[in-house]
Amino acid sequence: MVKAVFIASSHSHYKDRPGEVYHFPKRQYMSRVAQTVGDWVIFYAGRMGGNRGYYAVQRVEKVVDDPVDATHAYAILDRSTLFDFENEVPRVDPLGNTYESGLPPSGGVNASAVRLISDADFSRIVNEGMREVSDAEAIPRHDGFSDIQTPFHVPSNFSEVRERILTSRAFRDASFARQVKRAYQARCAMSGLELRNGGGRPEVEAAHIVPVSENGPDSVQNGMALSGTIHWMFDRGLVSVDEDLSILIAKDSVAAPVADRLFTPERKLIVPDTFTLRPHEKFLNWHRANRFKG
């Protein structure tokens, strides 16, 4: 098994489904992608993809042929392992050195959509990407288990990265919560309220749209910032979100006067300005089909 960097872009002509499958031409990349099965890959977006740099990590489950194009194949990704970096990592570090050994600061092999990387380079990118960012929006709602603040530790070997960080539920929960609260500026996406206690802690919680128990990924696109009460209602299918971001309320679940107090007057979800931070339609579709009691 070998780790790799996969270049991904929202403007790609390939049939990628982010977080689910990575589409690629066999002739150029099959020999490389096949080596990543069972291991982790890092996603990178250059200038054509929004210049995000290294922005997420995920495990490759298997490789299958494209059923309609014999010259292409799909890397099937383990959806539950997708993890957005708290810091999007640029191509070069502050000293001007590339995070990938042997990669020039610009151009060259960057054009290769699949690049195999060493454990050391992988760990270096992951360390920077998962470095905790603390600000007013990301302060945990409570002390204790619900928002565990695991101290970041630069591991001495890759095994520790994989076991203690990449698969740590406590670390993932805390980082996911910080990223979602930051994306929504600590404001409830359904009520529009931004409430804080005396210590400046936001009242909102980070809600998974597709829950972890259903292999929902720890990606901001699978999350929303919701107040405690609305989070409880969302998890139980009393409320959901329509395709046009309208707030859906299950019939006979919430009295009209209560709904008027709980939700925005427009009954529209408040979403981040940045498109890549907004809830993805595939996750909202799942919630409507599998949770909503409307």
**Can you give the pTM of this predicted structure?**
0.82
CA-to-CA distance for 55 and 8, rounded, in angstroms? 10
Cβ neighbours for 48, distance < 8 A, ≥ 6 positions apart: 9, 11
Summarize the confidence of residues 45-54 as an average pLDDT. Answer: 74
> Using one digit for the tens of pLDDT, what is the confidence trace for 175-195?
999 999 999 999 999 999 887
CA-to-CA distance for 153 and 281, rounded, in angstroms? 35
Summarize the confidence of residues 221-227 as an average pLDDT. Answer: 96
Boundaries of CATH 3.10.590.10 in the chain?
Answer: 1-131
Summarize the confidence of residues 226-253 as an average pLDDT. Answer: 95
Is pLDDT at 168 greater than 90 in this prediction? no
User: How many CA atoms are closer than 13 Å to the CA of 117, on its beta-carbon side?
Assistant: 31
Predicted confidence band at 164 (pLDDT cuts at 50, 70, 90)?
A: low
Residue matched to tokens 């590339």: 98
**Residue 200: what pLDDT?**
67
> Using one digit for the tens of pLDDT, what is the confidence trace for 103-149?
876 665 456 899 999 998 998 999 899 888 776 665 565 544 334 34
First to last CA, the chain: 46
CA 114 to chain centre: 20
Is pLDDT at 203 greater than 60 in this prediction? yes
**Residue 13: what pLDDT?**
78
CA 146-270-259 angle, 5° bins: 80
**Residue 14: what pLDDT?**
84
CA-to-CA distance for 28 and 74, rounded, in angstroms? 13
CA-to-CA distance for 221 and 232, rounded, in angstroms? 19
Topology of the domain covering 1-131: ph1033 like fold (3.10.590)
Summarize the confidence of residues 150-169 as an average pLDDT. Answer: 58
Region of residue 279 (left: phi > 0; alpha: psi -120 to 50; beta: else): beta
Residue matched to tokens 């990407």: 129
Highest mean pLDDT among 2-16, 127-141, 279-293: 279-293
Long-range contacts of 158-163 (CB under 8 A, 24+ apart): 158/119, 158/120, 158/122, 158/123, 161/122, 161/123, 161/126, 161/127, 162/40
Average pLDDT of the chain, as a whole number: 86
| Lowest-confidence region among 148-157, 222-231, 242-251, 256-265 | 148-157
